[in-house]
Amino acid sequence: MKKARKSRNNLSSLGMSTQAIHAGEDRLRYADSITTPIVQTATYAFKDSKEIEAYTKHGKARFEYGRYGNPTEQVAEHRIAALEDAEDCVVFGSGMGAIVTSILALVRSGDHIVITDDAYKKTLEFCSSYLQRFGVDCTIVPFGDYDALDAAVKKRTRFIFSESPTNPYLNIFDLNRLRAIARKHKVLTLIDSTFSTPFNQRPLDFGVDLVMHSGTKYLGGHNDILAGAVLGRTELVGQVRALHKAIGGVIDPHCCYLLLRGLKTFSLRMAKHNESAMAVARFLEGHPCVKRVYYPGLESHPHHDTAVAQMKGFGGVVTFDIRGRLAEAKRFLDNLKLCFIAPSLGGVETLITHPALVSYYDCSRKERYALGITDTLLRLSVGVENAADIIADLDQALRSSQRPR
């Protein structure tokens, strides 16, 4: 119920790499351990009835039950909050758990929300379909059409939700314009910042109210956990935390340990992701077998100027459209030798996915194309292997894809 005290280890004046290793915990730890211990327990014992009353009646800071908090989890929350420069953070068992719980915590029957059409498919599905069961209306507006966004806000609108960068086209939301529209109408703003991470962009610095991350991706960084996080000012995060306790989408202590271990190399990994993705994007843009590349670091990207203005780096995801048809796209995937064909992103291994065959397999071709999901569109999550090796693998697979069998 009541959380243990926050860490006395104030590192706010130090660099992100230092915070990623040390933030969120005291210097002296259990058994003099350097590594954050895994407190693998579901419940916590009270010494006597006096301690129970100290906790329930007088607010003594301690843990009671695993659904309400865990010491390993608390360190993860404090560390991610430090990286995002947020007042508070609550972690979840998945990114979608974080998004759904946050949305439900902020709306009531009769409310209205606005979301952009380039949001993650499952987020759009939840907002446009499931929310209606609770009497909450949703308006979907074209990404980048700020006049339409402004016009979509109603008196009963609770918040505006979007992503930046988006999936899969890596569109960049102008956060200053978002803030201006939100302040004009006095509504909240929620941004899914999974693709950018706090290393490349911190939406809270632009006045966004809540930031969300799929910790499965870059925060964990090794394709071995599911996790989510919601960050912002204490008042709002507290509302999310209260519902989180009731719904129970908690993250387990061992998963928190792996998340913390991944965070220790977060800055190193992100710098490498940024560098290699830029090299891969420039290579693909000049390749004869590629029609178009979508990467905010390229001058050809429609939101390049916005990205330069509000991002430190451009992330590790590169989306591109190859020449040919579905057959060529399949042949390209089948010829890859280093890159893994797999969904998700943000890990040390380079992954590639084909949205038409994976995320939008249940849509007709006409429906997919209306959303911009063509037969030859591919999304590459550039890992931390040598960029030259990734490029060589892409090159041989691209050239092989254009040769008739």
Burial class from Cβ neighbours inside 10 Å (0-12, 13-18, 19+) for residue 121 reads: middle
The residue from 79, 158, 202, 217 that is catalytic is 217
Q: Is 67 a catalytic residue?
A: yes
Per the CB < 8 A criterion, the answer to whether 385 and 338 are in contact is yes
Q: Which of 225, 232, 231 is nearest to 261 (CA)?
A: 225
Token output for 256: 């928190």
Cα–Cα separations (whole angstroms), residue 339 to 252, 290, 392: 30, 17, 11
The residue from 88, 111, 174, 192 that is catalytic is 192
The residue from 67, 154, 245, 323 that is catalytic is 67
Q: Which helix (H) or strand (E) holds 151?
A: helix 146-152
Distance CA 321, CA 339 (A): 17
The residue from 55, 79, 88, 120 that is catalytic is 120
Q: Is 2 a catalytic residue?
A: no
- DSSP letter at 364? -
From edge to edge, which strands make up the β-sheet containing 112-116? 88-92, 228-232, 210-214, 188-192, 157-163, 112-116, 137-141
Q: Is 217 a catalytic residue?
A: yes
Q: Which of 86, 82, 127 is nearest to 103 (CA)?
A: 127
The catalytic residues are 67, 120, 192, 217
